[in-house]
Amino acid sequence: MAGIGSMHRQKLGDMRHRITVQTANSTVDAARQRVVTYVDRLANEPSTFEQVTGGEVNRGRHIEAGVTAVFKVNARADYSVQDRIIFGGQSYGIVRIDNPAGIQRFTYLHCKAAPVG
């Protein structure tokens, strides 16, 4: 029998994956070009990982990678769509940040695979 809030209940070992959250730092070089570098902000952060979709989409001459993942992490107020996630050697850009209504324990980061660099 499911109780109140049972769909958000945490099981032992659910957050067994570890991610690195990086923050973008923007600078201007000598040629006045904007240079974005990433700095580790949170290392070894516990999370769950769910692969949602995969594939590539052709949009005219542009090929867009459609690999998408959802990470469930401990709730923090400082996640941003300018941040990126490193998990398993893959870089993920944050597309959307969800905080379930009434649940202050977790945040869901909806991410899209991005090139590492």
Residue 105 — pLDDT band, cuts 50, 70, 90?
Answer: confident
Residue with tokens 């649940």: 103
pLDDT tens digit string along 14-36?
788 999 999 999 999 999 999 98
Q: Distance (Å, rounded) from C-alpha 106 to C-alpha 13?
A: 15
Residue 1 — pLDDT band, cuts 50, 70, 90?
Answer: very low
pLDDT tens digit string along 45-90?
999 998 887 666 666 666 665 558 899 998 888 899 899 999 998 9
- What's the pLDDT at 76? 85
CATH fold of 14-114: Thrombin, subunit H (2.40.10)
Sign of the four-CA dihedral 7, 10, 15, 16: negative
